Amino acid sequence: MLYSLTFLVEKLSLLSNFKLFEFKWTDGKRKEVGCKERTTYSHAPLSLQRGDLLEVPRTLFTHFGIYLGDNKVAHLIPDIMPVLTNDKMIIKKVITNKRLIMGCLYKCATVRVDNLEDFVYGSNILVNHMDRKYKAQQPFPNEEVADRAEQLVGAIPYSLLWNNCEHFVTYCRYGSAKSQQTEMFCECLKSIIRDQRSVFLSVLLGMIYIVCFGLAPSTTLPTILIPFTLWMAG
């Protein structure tokens, strides 16, 4: 099972090189705003300040971190290794897909400090782009942002929806943990549930399930309960 999940992540990572899964904000194209927001590239000289909020595109989402200066970035990432060992040298190694997946399943993460190149992983960087999303909340001074990030370094509980890397950086920079990616996912999920075609699709899949595996409580109950739940929630 773990091998299959790892294989899937690796293949999606390859597809991400063709920008098929690049996360986009809902307000359309990203534009530069004033001097706070800067777009830089992994192959270009970077002019970063301690406390800057960094964004880099990943396979299905955007990854976030706080720049600490001296080419170091603090970021929250799922990792099973802190649960398995206290050896800092082992934990410090670059996180593999297997470590990441196991961390997601075990709901364990770590706020770690990596060099900028490992954090970027060949992607483009957006700097302080999120400031325009939080106009009502002024960011803390950069030094305070970096200090808040450094105080959280270490093992931490993880939730894909409620405590991810975006929650970490928004807490450090604005004082409240929020994730627009989570909000967008929940909105998408609600739209699927509200679409009555989901009910008919679930019925069809349930009937196919019964035909393939026979009439039994394990096949009949889901065929009835799932469409009924979707119908009532829609």
| Per-residue pLDDT reduced to its tens digit, 39-94 | 554 444 468 999 999 999 887 789 999 999 999 999 999 999 988 888 888 888 88
- Domain 46-178 part of CATH 3.50.50.60: no
- Check pLDDT > 50 for residue 171: yes
Mean pLDDT of the chain: 80
| Mean pLDDT calculated for residue range 157-182 | 92
Backbone angles phi, psi at 31, to 5 degrees: -130, 155
What are the residue ranges spanned by the domains of the chain? Answer: 46-178, 195-233
- Residues marked active site are found at 165
The closest alpha carbon to 55, from 183, 226, 173, belongs to 173
Residue range 202-223, pLDDT digits in tens: 888 888 988 898 888 888 888 8
pTM of the model: 0.69
Contact 43, 124 (CB under 8 A): no
